[in-house]
Structure 1
Amino acid sequence: MRQQIRDEILSISPFDALERDDISRCLTWIDSGVELCRAIKPATPPMHLVSYFVVIDDGYVLLVDHRNAKLWLPPGGHVEQGEHPRVTVGRELEEELGFVASHPIEAPLFVTITATVGLTAGHIDASLWYVLRASRHQSIKFDEREFEDICWFPFNEVPFERADPHMKRFLAKLAISEKV
């Protein structure tokens, strides 16, 4: 599985110097042989792999108001031991939003390394950002234990001051990659 995770990261074309550095740091981390998946909540090991999935629809992005992080984030979750990050996306999509992807989950578009904030601050997430398409008019049953709310934001109205610190960079990369 380690090689498959490495391949996911290698599939990403860096958007900027920060992403180039995050790719390099992720590869070094993977090659070090340390545990990649969270074993004990919230921070063992201190750095672990996350699959974000950014749900989009015609210039809109679905974000969740995460109870713990106190931020508007893409949905997602921690990759479990022996689980491919794309499988994590499918599992978390059903658990967190109550639906199944209508298309195959493609390679990640983006990767970040971020210190966590909120109630369980104190660890580092190495996050693969996957893009999913869904209709903003479809019914979504979100996990109310994990999220205060969900909202479809037009790309230019995302509340960046209370969002993942890399969201603006992600949307800029998405715009270039999809000509949105």
Structure 2
Amino acid sequence: MRSAIRGEVASIEPLDEVERAHIEDTLAWIDSGAELCRIQKPAIPPKHLVSYFVLVDEEHVLLVDHKNASLWLPTGGHVEPGEHPRATVARELREELGLELRQPVMAPLMLTCSQTVGITAGHTDVSLWYVIDANRSEPLTFDTEEFNSVRWFHAGEAPLSRSDPHLQRFLNKLNRRRRPV
């Protein structure tokens, strides 16, 4: 599985020097033989792999008001030992939003490394950002234990001051993908 995860990371074309540095750091971490997945909540090991997946409908993105982080975040979850990050997307899509995948999960668009905040603050999430095409009129059944609410935001109106510190960069990259330079 380590080589498959390495392949996911290596497939990402960096947006900028920040992402290039995150990718280089992540590849070195993978190659070090360190445990990549969280094996005990909340943060053992203190650096572990996460699959974010952003539901996208034209210029709208779905974000969740995450209870523990007190932020508006993309949906996602920790990659389990032996699980491919794309399988994490399918599992978490069901668990968090009550949806089934309708198309294969494509390669991640972005990778970020972030220090967590909120109730379980202080560890590092290495996050693969996947894009899932969705329909914002489709009903969602979200996990009320984990989220206060879910909401579609126009990309230009996303609550950046209360979100993942890399969300703006992700939205820029997503926009660039839609409208190649």
TM range (shorter): over 0.9
Displacement of 1:99 in angstroms is 0.5
Residue equivalent to 1:20: 20
User: Match of 1:108, as an amino acid?
Assistant: P
Determine the structure 1 residue equivalent to 2:82: 82
Query: What is the CA distance between 1:179 and its match in structure 2?
Result: 1.6
Unaligned runs of 5+ in 1: none
Structure 2: stretches of 5+ with no match in the other structure: none
Q: CA deviation at 1:156?
A: 0.3
Partner of 1:107: 107
SS in 1 for 2:161: helix
For residues 102 and 59 of structure 2, what CA distance do their matches in structure 1 show?
A: 18
Q: Equivalent residue for 2:31?
A: 31
Residue 91 of structure 1 aligns to a residue whose secondary structure is helix
Partner of 1:50: 50
Deviations 1:136-162 (A, max 9, x none): 000100000000000000000001000
Q: CA deviation at 1:58?
A: 1.1
RMSD of aligned alpha carbons: 0.8
Could you say what secondary structure the match of 1:150 adopts?
strand
CA contact (8 A) 1:12 1:110 kept: yes
- Counting aligned pairs with the same residue, the percent is 57
Paired residue type of 1:75: T
The separation in 2 between residues aligned to 1:123 and 1:169, in whole angstroms, is 21
Cα deviation code 1:121-144 (max 9, x no counterpart): 011000000000110000100000
**Off by >6 Å, runs of 4+ in structure 1:** none
CA distance in 2, matches of 1:178, 1:22: 23
Aligned pairs, number: 180
What's 2:41 paired with? Answer: 41
Task: Write the letter of the residue equivalent to 2:146.
Answer: E
